[in-house]
Amino acid sequence: MLIRRSKLTRREFLKWSSGLMAGVLASRVFRRPLAKSGEIALAASPSAPSAVPDIHLAATDGWIYLPGQVPIPGTSGQYYNPDPWAPDGLTTYMFGFRNVTGMTTQQMFSQKMHSQASAPLWWVNELQDYRLRLSNLGLQMRPDLIDEHTVHWHGFRNAWPVFDGEPHSSLAVPIGRSLDLFYKPRDPGSYMYHCHFEETEHVHMGMTGMVFVRPAQDGNPYTHNGRTFTKFAYNDGDGSTGYDREFTITLTDVWAEAHWDDAHVQLPDWTSFRADYNLMNGRVYPDTLAPNGNSETNPWAYDANGYLIPPPGRPELQWQPLSSLIEGESGERILIRLVNLSFFTHTMSTPGLKMRVVGKDATFLRSATADFTFETSHYIFGTGETADIIIQLPTVSTTTKYLLHNRDLRRLKNPGINGLGGHMTEIRVHPTGTLAPQTIPNTNPRP
């Protein structure tokens, strides 16, 4: 410590304090473990996971398509949605993730400003070692924001907070850096994940998605009600959660003003929150019925630039790849994994079909002594909750359509458009022989 007899001159004070500020900033931007290697080494892990991640996610911003118009109050002909700064065909500014697994470094960095909604779907087997790499590409529209990002697997019981993605008790990923997270899931069921950095903004702006855990029982045949299943929602021991096809439905919402504010360097007042759009898997009805991006055999394929390939004839849905269309054959059982990552409680209905709720928040609703599974035609669930629902499809000889929709009419419209929108999709039951077996969730393959 330097001992000085004279007082600090103003110039010296400024020099000293700016040096301190630079030091504080540097320690904030370049956290030491990250700056050293670019990622945390996991050499001490007992099962020594490979250096190649099972999934590699990139966090960035982007644009999606939402139909209808949200006018800016007090103006004529100006709109929060479509945002006038949106690229051709797109309307709405987002934050989000992309699945960049297997991409070259150049392809990965090309995904800046190409996030998708909802975030990429991924799944893990019970007790499987799973390694997720998160890279932060920065926000193209907001170079003034040096926001970090995380992946928080909501509901996952981490042994160590460093993998929890909750930045106040662990760490987050600065721009241009990567971080590896390690999981060994023990509890099958449906979960959600989201960025936890400045979460009011980052969650609402679209950094939300679904992850689920397949039970160890999968692959073993169990017969239930005369049918043999090899795929199950939980380790039921009797095939009662067996299913033929599975579909994930993630509910979110978009407040158009906040998205416009973030694109136009304005500060949203979150206390004024309202949902202009109610999304299923990142789309609104009737776009929820449009096919997956690319194809039913590889919905998430990318081109030479690493860009998602849009559904046929729907170029504006390029960054919203996941369909919510549910198709099954006569007499089949389907599993619907429902996630509510919106800011409201919702009631989802399937008029004409009964839902059997077998799991809630990744917990099987049956123990050795009590059975809390139940049948209903409408299921009420709150923000941050999940449900595993089995639907026994009827026997049909011609294609029969049912709806899965929100019972709240306010959630069933798109702004400025007459007719139905928002939280709705169809369940189509076809005669036997129409579909091929399903290997990827949310796909409806033909033979």
Q: Residue numbers of the site for Cu ion (CB under 5 A)? A: 149, 195, 197, 202, 207
Rg (CA), the chain: 24
Residue pair 253/343 in contact by the 8 Å Cβ criterion: yes
What Cα–Cα distance (Å) separates residue 88 from each residue in 5, 83, 109?
A: 66, 11, 22
Closest residue to Cu ion, judged by C-beta, is: 195
What's the closest the beta carbon of residue 195 comes to Cu ion, in angstroms? Answer: 3
What's the closest the beta carbon of residue 169 comes to Cu ion, in angstroms? Answer: 16
What's the closest the beta carbon of residue 174 comes to Cu ion, in angstroms? Answer: 11
* Residue (113 or 393) nearer to Cu ion, CB: 113
What's the closest the beta carbon of residue 191 comes to Cu ion, in angstroms? Answer: 18
**Tokens read off for 6:** 């004279």
* 293-297: long-range pairs with CB below 8 Å, 24+: 293/317, 293/318, 293/320, 293/321, 293/322, 294/321, 296/443, 296/444, 296/445, 296/446, 297/440, 297/443, 297/445
* Residue (55 or 173) nearer to Cu ion, CB: 173
* Residue (115 or 217) nearer to Cu ion, CB: 115
* Residue (145 or 353) nearer to Cu ion, CB: 145
> In whole angstroms, what is the distance from residue 438 CA to residue 299 CA?
13
What's the closest the beta carbon of residue 401 comes to Cu ion, in angstroms? Answer: 38
Partners of 229 in the beta sheet? 222
What's the closest the beta carbon of residue 139 comes to Cu ion, in angstroms? Answer: 9
* Residue (173 or 424) nearer to Cu ion, CB: 173
* Residue (202 or 423) nearer to Cu ion, CB: 202
Say if residue 117 is exposed, middle or buried (CB neighbours under 10 Å; 0-12, 13-18, 19+). Answer: buried
Say if residue 433 is exposed, middle or buried (CB neighbours under 10 Å; 0-12, 13-18, 19+). Answer: exposed
> In whole angstroms, what is the distance from residue 74 CA to residue 144 CA?
28
Residues in the chain: 447
* Residue (197 or 302) nearer to Cu ion, CB: 197
Partners of 182 in the beta sheet? 131
**Tokens read off for 140:** 């193209």
What's the closest the beta carbon of residue 59 comes to Cu ion, in angstroms? Answer: 6
What's the closest the beta carbon of residue 313 comes to Cu ion, in angstroms? Answer: 33
**Tokens read off for 335:** 């599993």
> In whole angstroms, what is the distance from residue 338 CA to residue 355 CA?
12
What's the closest the beta carbon of residue 149 comes to Cu ion, in angstroms? Answer: 4
What's the closest the beta carbon of residue 253 comes to Cu ion, in angstroms? Answer: 17
Q: Quick one: which H or E segment has residue 61?
A: strand 55-64
* Residue (177 or 245) nearer to Cu ion, CB: 177
Partners of 250 in the beta sheet? 339
Residue pair 229/239 in contact by the 8 Å Cβ criterion: yes
Residue pair 59/149 in contact by the 8 Å Cβ criterion: yes
DSSP string, 205-248: TT-EEEEEEE-TTTTS-EEETTEEES-BSS--SSSTTB-SEEEE
DSSP state of 83: -
* Residue (167 or 188) nearer to Cu ion, CB: 167
* Residue (179 or 427) nearer to Cu ion, CB: 179
**Tokens read off for 254:** 């978009």
